[in-house]
Structure 1
Amino acid sequence: MSEVIKLKTRDAIDSNYKWNVDKMYKDSEQWEEDFSILKSKAPEMQRFSGKLGTAEDLLSFLESNVEIERLLDKLLVYAHLRGDEDTGNAKFQVLKNKIDAYGAEVSSFTAFFIPELLLLPEGAVDQSISKLPALKLYEFYLSDIISQKNHTLNAEGEKLLASVSDCLNAPGNIFGMLTNADMTFPCIKDEKGNEIELTEGNYSNFIKSKERRVRKDAFETLFSTYKGFSNTLTASLTSSIKNFIFYAKTRNYSSALESSLKPNNIPVEVYQNVVHTINNNLSSLHKYVSLKKKLLGLDEIHMYDLYVPIVEAEQDHIEYQDAVKIALNGIKPLGEEYLNIFKEGINEGWVDVFQNKGKRSGAYSWGCYDSMPYVLLNYNYELNDVSTLAHEMGHSIHSYYARKTQPYIYSGYELFCAEVASITNECLLIDYLIKNETDKKKRLFLINQQLEGIRTTVFRQCMFAEFEKITHEKIEQGIPLSPEDLCAIYHDLNVKYFGEEMVVDEGIDMEWSRIPHFYNDFYVYQYTTGFAAANSFSKMIVEEGESAVERYIGFLKSGGSDYPINILKKAGVDMSSPKPLEDTIKRFDELLGMLEKEI
């Protein structure tokens, strides 16, 4: 009888492979001391209400607020990291719950700030900055708030909008409960003929199955189940869209799209440019579909054939130390300073490497101004884990540079920039692996892996973005959308994106109903822009060397000190133009050419 291999407990993991969270607080008692300080200081912030008119009081509020926010961040990060390393540890779950609950209270103590700042006479803030040079540090932060004056309600209105936030979020919560908790799927037969209950979790494996019957059964079973709930799912999605439109109108925006983009000073034209540029280059995706059909030896290519690998390559077992070396070789073009920071992170305890019993799944980068930029992994010795390490360290080194260079208020960065550093590392790594792989099968596997990355992150996410644009515009025009309407819109988009050779199966018409990102309006296009910006950076870094690296490090150091479009533009990537997206399509075409040549 074979031995059952069990996950190690947290205590059994070598400390060399665990993050050094003790550097923040040596124990829970020390954390509790800081929590007591926060609880005593945070309520005192209310003393500034009605007193923002003088330069001295405004500065005092801002400096006190930074002190409170930094302390809150540190307490929050520690509690969550400890909670995630072992979700079964009740002590740390208590810490998480305490700080999460108090965090909301802290926000209420300073809720007066923005409405009162906007009530000050025009030019009053500029006068305060001129009078008190120490306020100069906060100039961009304050001007950004003031720029939103036309979209900010009075204190009573803001309080009312905050009080209905739970109601406005209800459609997304209903969607989550329905699809995660209440919906179940029938069984299908796997490759060996075993009856297996289909789940959202194992669907991703079945849809990649080498046996066509299995992936077809999984596809049809999944989407026929969703179709059985089409009326409920339509009601939840259209209600979410209506809520977002209500929010946009209440804040005096001309459209829901503008209300999503304008707070970060991103022109609506950027979104439209993404959709337009990808639409103009769909012939590249059509070529990929045609080539995939040929390489898989199919008479017809269906939607359920999209995820099956063109090439099966034997997966190498990669020890973690070797993964670090491979990642370092991949990102070598970023220069000695960047590589040394990466090594420092590995050696100083940024990374929590291996799975253990109770550890949160997945991977992330997280930290705060007063901590290391920690990385959670669940390393499993595969090439994909090497890519995940490079990706998450890209986030962490972005945070490292921003926190070292910027004051606290500008040390974060917006979502529009957030994925750029991580994907730049991935692009450099895959380029290195493709160039240095001598085994033909493995090289083909790597080429196909990057093609799939661009297909799913650039083309597919743009199709989602176009679906959002169409549905929001129709509802804004007062046109109701039925399940049949949503399915027809989604079907037509699939026909357009995948081209004539693709058989667009009826099941795919329901795919809109299982995309959780649609409940976070106009979010997904940033995957497309993030990949395009990262591809541009990696290309410049490889081709231009030191000068491009210097501009790129400048981008990392900028944090949130300017608007995302401006930060990227200064570093040499203009996301208001189609060029970054066009360059990404060129890379896609290059990879297609490599694939055709190698086969």
Structure 2
Amino acid sequence: MSKELKDRNSISDQYKWNLDHIYADDNSFEIELQKVLQKIEAIKNYKNDFCEDGEKLYNALNEIIKVEEKTSRLYAYAHMKYDQNTKNEKYQNYKNKAMTAYNNLNNSTSFMLPAIIELGEEKLKEYIKENEELSFYEHFFDNIMRQKDHYLSADEEKILALAGEVTQSSENIFSMLNNADLEFPLIEDENGEEIRLTHGRYIDLLKNEDREVRKEAFNGMHGEYEKLDNTFAAVLDSSVKGDIFYARARKYESSLEASLDDDNISVDVYDNLINSISDNLAPLHEYMELKKEMLELDELHIYDTYTPLIKEIDLKFEYEESKDIIKKALQPLGEDYVSIVDKAFNSGWIDVYENKGKRSGAYSSGCYGVHPFILMNYTKDISNLFTLIHEMGHALHSYYTNKNQPYIYSKYKIFVAEVASTLNENLLVDYMLNNAESREEKLYLLNYFLEGFRGTVYRQTMFAEFEKLIHQEVEKGAGLTSQSMQQKYNNLNKKYFGDQLAIDKKLDYEWARIPHFYYNFYVYKYATGYSAATALAEKIKNEGGEAAERYLDFLRAGGSDYPLNILKNAGVNMEKPLVIENAVDKFSRYLKKLKDLI
């Protein structure tokens, strides 16, 4: 591991995504931006006769959708160029301009939804009967009318649209602080050599066999957030107030209800997750106790929990090796799926390695009409193999949706997005366990699965509960302070981990470094998605090709129906606690397998 990160131009092109597939060059982006801004301005001309008859409604909607598609392409190019190096001012500017275009579009189309609502369901049915082409927008209309009590007048919608740049600033400020401004300290590795602590290296360092390295990495990471805790608290407080502002403006009972209603999901689904997991913490406590025993520790700290229990096995994977494993693991999904994965690996879809200034973490992104893209910060640790197959799940979901749905229905909801990614992880676990060559390797993989479950279900549910608590506090009229969030976070760690974990003071600052807290009740979808993915993976394993085809139909559906309906068609009912309970049962079964092998 080198002391400092490489510059981007030092990394081979074969390990970079090719954003030229979106625009040939920056000049093409700038030319398209000006054209789109003109088209956005021209949309206002539809306002006066938008719903005058079915033909005018159809033609106006088509034009608006075309402009939105072009705007989304601008933003995709700009934000991915920016994420390559968050210190590059040119692409910071591009991203800001693309976001401004989005806000201008929201402003120009603010008349649209109130006009459709005012037209009413009966008149819409009449228009569709007279103009069959309008039936194309039937689900779109249904979703609008479902939420009609939460839309405002055209002038009020315009004000909300204008507020967009202000309410989005919290996430942007956090991103700049977290990715560009924070510099983590140099720490000593197990050989006494200094290395730079980074977001990308952090988890690898927590898996180091040397406990002092783990401890120093943990303290070094959270120490930087502790130094700026009041700033991070103010930024998160601003973000939460933005969520509440929109919820109250749209006449929802709470920001949680407002967020979930976009997916047509009730608050009961969210509460069911927290309650079901809260009632099933015993397996997690049992697992933590086992870790403490196997690591021969008097006290188990959070920086110990990432350490592999089986030290004799050092599972590292070169990137090329990971590609091969992933293609084999995904064979149950069929030849077509695997062929697309192979294309993704070899056609400029993936930005593989960390470089100076690059955005931390991993994601799949893109735009309609162009293949998806994947951002990685790949290291050879097994976690990156799982991250890669996870993001590939998102990418293939987008690919199948875009190939089978028009743009208006290409945006599948986040609620179902995590199903595609975590199902891939389930298949990878099964493949690697079936092909493990030794008892030690099986032990390692079982432990890895349990760790993944802990992070995806238990940890994200804890995050979901924290997010609910901080929104409720602000809704009651209080402001968020670092002290109040430290206390809430401390209480939740004690609840979820029990007496098995010693809570370090610096762990109380972990909330400050979680970007998903700026995504308005996003994190619960990891846990619900994992539970649904577990059920679907079991169906594919037990039923074979027929279940796999139903799953591909799930990927193809995109946003053409409501998320819960799409999942039901695939064979999973997320309104019942049984799905979550079955996922916890799998955790318990794998924990028993681990104990039996020990």
| Bucket of the pairwise TM-score, normalised by the shorter protein | 0.7 to 0.9
Give the drift of 1:446.
Answer: 1.9
CA contact (8 A) 2:107 2:162 kept: no
Give the drift of 1:408.
Answer: 1.6
Give the drift of 1:564.
Answer: 1.1
Q: 1:246 to 1:363 in 2, by over 3 A?
A: closer
1:527 maps to a residue whose letter is Y
Alignment correspondent of 1:470: 469
Query: Cα deviations across residues 308-364 of structure 1 (Å, max 9, x unaligned)?
Result: 2222322445352x4333212101111223223333444555445567888766543
Give the drift of 1:103.
Answer: 4.3
- Report which stretch shifted further, 82-91 or 135-144: 82-91
Query: Cα deviations across residues 86-143 of structure 1 (Å, max 9, x unaligned)?
Result: 8899988886666555444344332322233233345322221122110001011122
Q: 1:381 to 1:479 in 2, by over 3 A?
A: closer
Measured in 1, the distance between the counterparts of 2:508 and 2:454 equals 19
2:252 counterpart SS class = coil
- Report which stretch shifted further, 176-185 or 374-383: 176-185
Give the drift of 1:235.
Answer: 4.7
Alignment correspondent of 1:406: 405
Measured in 2, the distance between the counterparts of 1:56 and 1:465 equals 45
Alignment correspondent of 2:48: 50
Q: How many percent of aligned residue pairs carry the same amino acid? A: 42
- Report which stretch shifted further, 346-355 or 535-544: 346-355
2:459 maps to a residue whose letter is R
2:374 counterpart SS class = strand
Matched, 1:249 2:248: yes
Measured in 1, the distance between the counterparts of 2:281 and 2:114 equals 46
Measured in 2, the distance between the counterparts of 1:77 and 1:475 equals 33
Alignment correspondent of 1:124: 123
Measured in 2, the distance between the counterparts of 1:456 and 1:341 equals 29
CA contact (8 A) 1:318 1:383 kept: no
Alignment correspondent of 1:434: 433
Give the drift of 1:470.
Answer: 2.8
Measured in 2, the distance between the counterparts of 1:567 and 1:412 equals 13
TM-score (norm 1): 0.87
Alignment correspondent of 1:450: 449
Structure 2: which 5+ runs fail to align? none
Q: 1:319 to 1:37 in 2, by over 3 A?
A: closer
Q: Number of aligned pairs?
A: 596
Structure 1: which 5+ runs fail to align? none
CA contact (8 A) 1:395 1:418 kept: yes
1:298 counterpart SS class = coil
1:560 counterpart SS class = coil
2:364 counterpart SS class = strand
Q: 1:471 to 1:324 in 2, by over 3 A?
A: closer
Alignment correspondent of 1:138: 137
Counterpart mapping for 1:97-112 below 5 A: 99-112=98-111
Q: Look at both structures and tell me which one has the larger radius of gyration over its CA atoms.
A: 1
Give the drift of 1:276.
Answer: 0.8
Counterpart mapping for 1:223-262 below 5 A: 226=225, 233-262=232-261
- Report which stretch shifted further, 408-417 or 175-184: 175-184
CA contact (8 A) 2:103 2:165 kept: no
CA contact (8 A) 2:114 2:152 kept: yes
Give the drift of 1:28.
Answer: 5.7
Alignment correspondent of 1:538: 537
Counterpart mapping for 1:144-155 below 5 A: 144-155=143-154
- Report which stretch shifted further, 392-401 or 274-283: 392-401
Query: Cα deviations across residues 133-165 of structure 1 (Å, max 9, x unaligned)?
Result: 100010111221222221122222223333344
1:526 maps to a residue whose letter is K
Alignment correspondent of 1:558: 557
2:47 maps to a residue whose letter is S
Q: 1:90 to 1:330 in 2, by over 3 A?
A: same
Query: Cα deviations across residues 240-262 of structure 1 (Å, max 9, x unaligned)?
Result: 43443333222111112111111
TM-score (norm 2): 0.87
CA contact (8 A) 1:50 1:116 kept: no
Q: 1:473 to 1:29 in 2, by over 3 A?
A: closer
Give the drift of 1:571.
Answer: 0.7
CA contact (8 A) 1:13 1:356 kept: no
CA contact (8 A) 1:406 1:557 kept: yes
- Report which stretch shifted further, 524-533 or 219-228: 219-228
Matched, 1:391 2:386: no
Counterpart mapping for 1:89-238 below 5 A: 99-121=98-120, 123-169=122-168, 172=171, 190-192=189-191, 203-219=202-218, 226=225, 233-238=232-237
- Report which stretch shifted further, 141-150 or 309-318: 309-318
Measured in 1, the distance between the counterparts of 2:383 and 2:104 equals 41
Matched, 1:64 2:63: yes
Measured in 2, the distance between the counterparts of 1:327 and 1:367 equals 21
Alignment correspondent of 1:314: 314
Give the drift of 1:279.
Answer: 0.8
Measured in 1, the distance between the counterparts of 2:98 and 2:214 equals 45
Give the drift of 1:280.
Answer: 1.2
Q: 1:506 to 1:469 in 2, by over 3 A?
A: same
Measured in 1, the distance between the counterparts of 2:244 and 2:189 equals 44
Q: 1:77 to 1:471 in 2, by over 3 A?
A: closer
CA contact (8 A) 2:393 2:421 kept: yes
Alignment correspondent of 1:423: 422
- Report which stretch shifted further, 57-66 or 322-331: 322-331
Alignment correspondent of 2:519: 520
Alignment correspondent of 2:571: 572
Measured in 2, the distance between the counterparts of 1:484 and 1:316 equals 40
